[in-house]
Structure 1
Amino acid sequence: MNIFTDHPKPKVKIGVLFLKRKRAGFVPEWGDHIEGLVRGQLKNSPFDVFIPEGKVVDGISMRQAMKVCEDKGCQVYIALQPTMSDGRMAPVLAQHSRAPVVFWATPEKQEGSMISACSLVGAHTFTATLAQTGHPFEFVYGMPGEAQTVRDFSNAVYRAYAYSLIRNGSAGLVGYHAPGFIDMHVDPASMKANLHTELFHISMHEFIDSIHAVSDEAAKADLKKMKQLGLLCEDDISEADLLLSSKYYLCMKEMMDTLPLNALSVRDWPELSSTQWPYLAMARLSSEGYAVACEGDTDGALSCLLGYAVGCGACYLSDWLEHDEHHITLWHGGAAPFQMCQGLDSKVPPKIARHFNNRNPAVVDATLKSGMPITLFRLWHLNGKYLFTAIEGETVEPKRHLKGTNGTGCFDSVDINDYFIRMVKAGFPHHPVIAEGHVKKHLYALMENLGIECKD
């Protein structure tokens, strides 16, 4: 993966269940044709696909097939009825899936007078049953292989995966929020009650000891790898500075991989910044798909996790620096993912630099790409419940150069002055998250399954 051009995507393993009938019905040949087309689309999908052997025709065979899928490490189940199956399998399917089941209904044969499949009727029956019993699900309707069906299916799988990641996940917090940033205070009780996510706390002393425990040999090997990225570097950044940044990177990566943590927030100032900022390490990690956040912003890290898990790629945790009627200055200290920034051959290539404020290393000065469709979004808590918002826009050329990460978002369809006041009154913290692409509808569909209120 080229981290300057390619966004990271989660690796999702799906278990595909073709729900059959004990006796023949409708037009079996059409059902076989549809199943063949489905298999063809799945073969070219970005997912690791497993299809259990044997016919799934009732609750017993359903449980057996799902047990095999579980043993194979499947994270999301796909349920298809090429011809209508037995609706009594619906509660069994929901009961044994940790993630929302993706139901894929397919069209009728558009020839002859015979009812060929009733696939949509079957999927409708299953999903209405699940809705009435409180089970979340995803729904796709379309002919296999068509472009819209491919997009809808991928989005549904990623949303189901994101749901399972949040519902069964762990968020790490190093230290606390940055001094005075009470709007980013983490509430483990609200997090558990609303998201079913557990908070794992790490003290600053533990974290600093873990950084120093990274061997010089490992840091040197990582620094050699990092230099191959070709990043420019200010002349007064020393080899020792870069080695410490590699230790930050290796320490946070190992924490997330081994504890394991789905998201990680770190209180970087004043304890760490008095020696070195971890922003270069965070920029590298976020570019690789790790959900990391500075200043102890745990909900911000979870927001980045949501963006990555639903297939949006690496996300940028920004400050809301200033705004006018339709523009927001999307600035922060220097930890944006490289994919969202202007490239090495641009007029303002990303550069390893010193922090604008105390002049300590190591941050990445970079400018967001212009003309990039974006979604600004955020997950946060207020009075014991979680809220979510999103707006869509496009990046434009900034009016002036700024140290750190610099960018301007244009939101032509949004009155930013009005939106800002409404969001602040709802407790929206000062860190919006930016994803590439227009994905508001996609994210809101996930929030609906999670039971999170969306505010426009």
Structure 2
Amino acid sequence: MKLSYVPIVRPMFRGAQMGLQERTQEALEALAAQHGFELQVCSAVAEGAEGEALAQQFSADPPDLLLLQHVTFATGDLVTPLLNLDMSTLIWALPEAFEQGRLPQNALCGLNMTVSLPAERTKPVRWLYGGPDDAAIHAQILISLRGAAAARRLAAAHILQIGGSAPGFYRIESEPSGDIQHEALSTLIDAAAQAEPAAVPDEPSDYPPEALTEALKIETALSAAAQGYDAVSLRCWPEIPEQRGAMACLACARLADRGLPVACEGDTYGALSMLAAQTVSGQPSVLLDLTHTAPDALMFWHCGNAAGVWAIETRIEKHFNRQIPAVRGMTLRPGPVSGLRLLENGKALVFSGEVVSRESRYEGVSGWVTNFRMAGEALSSRDFLANILEYRIPHHLVFALGDCEAALTETCLWLGYEVLQARPASGVIRWK
């Protein structure tokens, strides 16, 4: 992740000689060292030509996040060239160093003027106001950087769609804009027939190694097809089990172990959501169905498609319906999780919760989640369920490990997705 810091400083203000820019630079350098991102410190912009030069530089080599700081007041000719860059941007104004005498900086007024300017951009900007050592400012910079880096990766993502969506799954037939390549399912099935099986998994199994041959050949073929892509959506039934005698679930789980998101049942928005969740969290994401309720929790489940990091123990099992090999069975590891579902028309569901330990589980991958938040608002399990139904959210929800709700929300901000807000349950579904 790369953050470019541009101080805006008019030398005629006495605040320009108070070391505020230097204090900010030191704080950002410490933040970069602690969290492992690249920091580019740019020369201060004091004249319009300097802003123009930096804008050309960033056009050729853009950072993930641009941080403009009003150390002092500045007029539009300084900042407009940078505002016209359609990239993720923070504008930070420093409080006044003194409250009497000559006005030191007039930085807040500069921020006010800058955000009012008629810039030629589609992306929003986020404003910040606080001192160089303000911990809340630092936290927001980190969240914005994570979200901006994820948004940039998604905007450039290469996604492979194999076979269309599962039969009758009309809602997930829709696809996001972007670089999506389509491949016939028959191509993958033919490749699996000729493939060498992948290495036998080193984990407990209900099957002897020879019984996994077809499932491991599917893994080899799917891995080869996915080369050069950031994520895959796969029509995983009915043709694959009917023609190859094995499920693709284990292959999806094992590819997730290696960092490739594979969305089940041909769900391309699901694949993009998985890529976003994985990029933000730094660990494999998982796509699950909402299947059951308890008074204080909701059960999420899928056939057996999750990376091993999601569980304390895993086991290779038969498919719950077809009773053929092979899926990865597991109970979700207790702890905080976050969630995302990118939707048509520029909308997004962002949520968080906590996986809790319960004895009950379904075959495949399953787990109980409670303590929900949606768009930052705490919800009971019942109210979260109501929002899923009443917003008509597709039945696939994507989960990320850890508490990264804020960074997922920030990703949506920079991508231009509107995050759905929690609303009271009504018991009414409206099609519109």
* TM-score bin (small chain): 0.7 to 0.9
* Counterpart-to-counterpart distance in 2, 1:324 and 1:43: 45
Q: How many residues align?
A: 412
Quickly say closer, same or farther: Cα 1:203–1:34, change in 2 above 3 A: same
Q: How does 1:59-138 map to 2 (within 5 A)?
A: 59-72=48-61, 74-97=63-86, 99-109=87-97, 115-129=103-117, 135-138=123-126
Select the residue among 379, 386, 391 that pairs with 2:342: 379
Q: Deviations over 1:31-88 (max 9, x none)?
A: 2333333333234333233345x54334432332243345446333222233444433
Task: Indicate conservation of the 8 Å contact 1:237/1:353, yes or no.
Answer: no
Letter in 2 for 1:102: L
* Counterpart-to-counterpart distance in 2, 1:313 and 1:115: 49
Report how far residue 323 of structure 1 moved: 1.6
Segments of 5+ residues of structure 2 without an aligned counterpart are 373-377, 423-432
Quickly say closer, same or farther: Cα 1:436–1:102, change in 2 above 3 A: same
Question: Could you say what secondary structure the match of 2:52 adopts?
Answer: helix
* Counterpart-to-counterpart distance in 2, 1:398 and 1:422: 24
**1:436 maps to which residue?**
401
Letter in 2 for 1:350: T
* Counterpart-to-counterpart distance in 2, 1:144 and 1:289: 37
Question: Could you say what secondary structure the match of 1:254 adopts?
Answer: coil
Q: TM-score, normalization: structure 2?
A: 0.81
Letter in 2 for 1:154: L
* Counterpart-to-counterpart distance in 1, 2:92 and 2:403: 24
**1:420 maps to which residue?**
385
Report how far residue 304 of structure 1 moved: 1.7
Q: Structure 1 residue 207 and structure 2 residue 197: aligned?
A: no
Select the residue among 299, 307, 322 that pairs with 1:337: 307
Identity across matched positions, percent: 21
Q: TM-score, normalization: structure 1?
A: 0.77
Task: Indicate conservation of the 8 Å contact 2:9/2:72, yes or no.
Answer: yes
What RMSD, in angstroms, separates the aligned Cα atoms of the two structures?
3.4
Report how far residue 407 of structure 1 moved: 0.4
Q: Deviations over 1:320-366 (max 9, x none)?
A: 11123432111111112333322xxxxxx112333222233332111
- Which range is displaced more, 284-293 or 422-431? 284-293
Task: Indicate conservation of the 8 Å contact 1:291/1:305, yes or no.
Answer: yes
Q: Structure 1 residue 401 and structure 2 residue 371: aligned?
A: no
* Counterpart-to-counterpart distance in 2, 1:389 and 1:79: 30
Report how far residue 205 of structure 1 moved: 2.7
Task: Indicate conservation of the 8 Å contact 2:311/2:331, yes or no.
Answer: yes
Report how far residue 92 of structure 1 moved: 1.8
Select the residue among 308, 319, 324 that pairs with 2:278: 308
Q: Deviations over 1:391-429 (max 9, x none)?
A: 432211234232211100123753444543453343211
Report how far residue 212 of structure 1 moved: 6.5
Quickly say closer, same or farther: Cα 1:72–1:446, change in 2 above 3 A: closer
Quickly say closer, same or farther: Cα 1:57–1:326, change in 2 above 3 A: same
* Counterpart-to-counterpart distance in 1, 2:7 and 2:271: 37
Report how far residue 453 of structure 1 moved: 5.1
Select the residue among 325, 335, 349 that pairs with 1:361: 325
Quickly say closer, same or farther: Cα 1:115–1:22, change in 2 above 3 A: closer
Select the residue among 15, 20, 23 that pairs with 2:4: 15
- Which range is displaced more, 324-333 or 271-280? 271-280
Q: Deviations over 1:286-317 (max 9, x none)?
A: 34544331111111122222323444643221
Select the residue among 35, 39, 54 that pairs with 1:49: 39
Quickly say closer, same or farther: Cα 1:243–1:331, change in 2 above 3 A: closer
Quickly say closer, same or farther: Cα 1:312–1:378, change in 2 above 3 A: farther
Letter in 1 for 2:317: A
Task: Indicate conservation of the 8 Å contact 1:30/1:117, yes or no.
Answer: no
Quickly say closer, same or farther: Cα 1:95–1:418, change in 2 above 3 A: same
Report how far residue 159 of structure 1 moved: 2.0
Q: Identify the structure with the greater strand proportion.
A: 2
Quickly say closer, same or farther: Cα 1:55–1:427, change in 2 above 3 A: same
Letter in 2 for 1:181: F
Report how far residue 281 of structure 1 moved: 3.3
Q: How does 1:130-209 map to 2 (within 5 A)?
A: 135-144=123-132, 147-186=135-174, 188=175, 191-192=176-177, 197-208=178-189
Report how far residue 114 of structure 1 moved: 5.8
Quickly say closer, same or farther: Cα 1:282–1:112, change in 2 above 3 A: farther
**2:227 maps to which residue?**
254
Task: Indicate conservation of the 8 Å contact 2:94/2:129, yes or no.
Answer: yes
Report how far residue 136 of structure 1 moved: 0.8
* Counterpart-to-counterpart distance in 1, 2:110 and 2:366: 51
Letter in 2 for 1:36: E
Task: Indicate conservation of the 8 Å contact 2:64/2:149, yes or no.
Answer: yes
